[in-house]
Amino acid sequence: MTRARWMTWPLIAVAVVALSACDSADNEELSRWMQELRGRTQPKVEPIAEPVRFVPQAYLSEGATQPFERDKLTAALRRAAGATNPNTALLTPELNRRKEPLEAEPLDAMAMVGLLDQKGQRVALVKVNNLLYQVRLGNYLGQNYGRITRITESEITLREIVQDGTGEWIERQAVLQLQEGTK
């Protein structure tokens, strides 16, 4: 036999002796301790909450855009037939001009904070992201092609171009009020 085989026999003998040391007396003591621990321990099981009862809501169509409204269908059919929208004349000049910096911000993120008079012309101070901008008549604000049409001591009036429920481009008026005490 080789020397390596002679060296493994003593290791096997030590392992057998170690395993025989784990006799059933130790296991009985361990089993008794486990039984005692199980008897003392009471699991805490919280009851499941009652499900919330679903209460259906009535559909109120008042004031909502109707999907099959005659005007909406007419506009959709006109677009599908390739007819030109007569109100695109409002939008075409806006698409062909260079955008101004304040058109990238939504109107509700702006605040009018003051008014200046420069050489007889009113200049409004508009605050956006903690920066002040000077705007005059004809400047553009907001994301809806809002052009300044009037500046008073208390507000800036804009003409915006937006789409209505039927997809037609229309003009609407928007106002940016003076915000006193804005930091």
Domains and CATH numbers, the chain: 87-177 (2.30.30.830)
The model's pTM: 0.54
Per mean pLDDT, which range of 18-27, 89-98, 131-140 is the poorest? 18-27
Quick one: what percent of the chain has pLDDT higher than 90? 37
Q: What are phi and psi of 127, to 5 degrees?
A: -105, 125
- What confidence score (pLDDT) does residue 86 get? 57
Q: Is the pLDDT of residue 22 over 80?
A: no
Residue 122 burial (CB count, 10 A):
16
Say how far apart CA 142 and CA 106 lie, in whole Å.
Answer: 5
Q: Where are the alpha helices (DSSP H) in 21-135?
A: 24-40, 70-81, 88-96
Structure token digits, residue 161: 């171009």
pLDDT grade for 156, boundaries at 50, 70 and 90: very high
Alpha-carbon torsion, ordered 72, 74, 75, 79, to 10 deg: 140
